[in-house]
Amino acid sequence: MGRRKLVVGNWKMNGMRSHLAEVEAIGRIAAERPVVEVGLCVPATLIMAAAERKGGAFIGAQDCHMNASGAHTGCLSAQMLAEAGAEYIIVGHSERREAQGESDADVAAKAAAARAAGLKVILCVGESLDVRDAGNAEAVVSAQLLASLPEGAAADWLAIAYEPIWAIGTGRIPTMEAVASMHAALRAALASRIGADEAQKMRILYGGSMSGDNAADLMAIADVDGGLVGGASLTAEKFAPVIAAAG
């Protein structure tokens, strides 16, 4: 399939204005590799400034509220984030599912809200180590994906990111065979909901300790269409080899 690789940095709760030079440097790298779609999901405080310096990359947000407005102190709507310069939004990251108690229904609602605001979405799914060790990972994550999919899910605005929770920030990753099997299972789950043709178009990213050391091997797997990258995206020096591995 001709799915264009998508490589997205998730800065999480990292980044001050002093880090905007890294945004510029990553934007220059992205401009030199147009075959790869490159983005940075930065803290909300940096979206507007980063969008002015993004170069060949896009700027995204790390979350949004499911409502367009209202009495939601401390929250940001997808429309607000779009106005600030975001083009993508991450929804359903395990750090929000676990620490903030977000349900699959919440994730689906946030994805729908982002779509309504004209934004693209990266929807995260993944399993705990207990689930992996019990041998239930593919069934559990496939069910989580189907329960989190918004109505009208389509490849032109939605990508999936598989992040085994136990691999995030730990340096551990599943075997290449396990990654391949999970991504194939997720594509099959998508096909059951949105049809085989649309499922083949949708990009499924791998996240969880992706770095310059392992990105080429991971992205050589047939159903791995890019990466959602944490710590290795914070500097251009570390992110550049991940982008290079994508194409």
Calculated CA dihedral for residues 194, 39, 55, 24, nearest 10 degrees: 180
Give yes or no: 177 in active site. no
Question: Which one from 22, 93, 127, 138 is the annotated catalytic residue?
Answer: 93
Residue 169 is assigned to a ligand binding site: yes
The DSSP output letter for 18 is G
Are the beta carbons of 158 and 112 closer than 8 angstroms?
Answer: no
Nearest to 86 by CA among 189, 194, 11: 11
Question: Which one from 87, 127, 138, 163 is the annotated catalytic residue?
Answer: 163
Residue 230 is assigned to a ligand binding site: yes
> What is the rounded distance in angstroms from the CA atom of residue 222 to the CA atom of residue 201?
13
Residue 10 is assigned to a ligand binding site: yes
Give yes or no: 163 in active site. yes
Nearest to 160 by CA among 194, 131, 132: 194
Nearest to 209 by CA among 150, 147, 243, 165: 165
Residue 11 is assigned to a ligand binding site: yes
The binding site for substrate comprises 10-12, 169, 209, 230-231
The binding site comprises 10-12, 169, 209, 230-231
Q: What residues are annotated to the active site?
A: 93, 163
